[in-house]
Amino acid sequence: MDESDNIPSGARDRPNGLSRPQRRAAGRRFVHRHSALVRVAHWINVVCLLVLLMSGLQIFNAYPALSWGEVSDFSGPAFAITAQKGKDGQFRGITVIAGRQIDTTGVLGFSAAGARAFPAWATLPSWQSLAEGRLWQFAFAWVFVFNGFVYFLHGLLGRHLWRDLIPSRRDLGRIGHTAWDHLLLRFPAGEEAIRYNVLQQISYLTVVLVLLPVMVIAGLAMSPRMDAAFPELLGIFGGRQSARTIHFITALALVIFVCIHVFMVFISGVWNNMRSMVTGRYAIETGDADA
């Protein structure tokens, strides 16, 4: 059952297309794993997503509640981060989710910087400023969209999307097996490690083709001018408050994706992974595969 017990051969149902080894060392060789464009786009994305997230939390702090539909329900929003004064006169951070109150003092609602939804360390700028948060957000939204556009065009016209990201029928058939290996933290070695596995393919495609576009469209739906020009933007989400909520939930989904992604990078050979995303060179074991 263990995939890594098989000594990987070069044979596969489609060519991996990666360049031939540039250097041979004892038991390992280097392959060119990520193209320069993918690497540059990746790191630009890291900066953009961080700035967009932190400035987004800053913007959220200006009105730390979420509603559904057209109208903000100030009396009982579905989600809110508030500060409430307790009987002892001390403020507590209270997060309200669907009527349930959770004490989140110290992080959400009330933290070192006082009464604010997200704490100072999570927002950009760290002090309360909707105006500056918006400046950061819109500036980096442009960088992010331009970067994503170039990446997507490159994937579409080049081979990245078709060759690396779209799972093959064979990959899809083995999805249960791959998922089980992942749960046991068993990762493919050798030739198999060069390619994205099917779980990577599905999660990357979900991010690139679903989460990020939804993020951008929901963001546009919050712009009064865009709503005026394209009223269907509001139709898609059923109101600006819904769009805001979906924007927030999508951001949360991206944060979860990044956490899992970074965790995987760390446990599946952090230096090899980092080198391949910085220089493009990825080492694979040519001798006995280790699990």
CB nearer another protein, residue 45 or residue 178: 45
Q: How many residues does the chain have?
A: 291
Burial string for 238-252 (b: 16+ CB within 10 Å, else e) reads: ebbbbbbbbbbbbbe
* Residue number with CB closer to another protein (30 or 140): 140
Residue number with CB closer to another protein (112 or 255): 112
CB-nearer residue toward another protein: 229 or 252: 229
Cβ-proximal residues to 157 (8 Å cutoff; 6+ apart), any chain: none
Nearer of residues 21 and 125 to another protein, judged by Cβ: 125
Cβ–Cβ < 8 Å for 283, 30: yes
Q: Closest by alpha carbon to 67, among 246, 219, 223?
A: 246
Catalog residues that contact another protein under the rule CB under 8 A: 70-75, 88, 105-107, 111-113, 119-121, 124-127, 132, 135-136, 138-139, 142, 223-231, 234
User: Closest CB to another protein among 86 and 173?
Assistant: 86
Cα(114)–Cα(132) distance, integer angstroms: 19
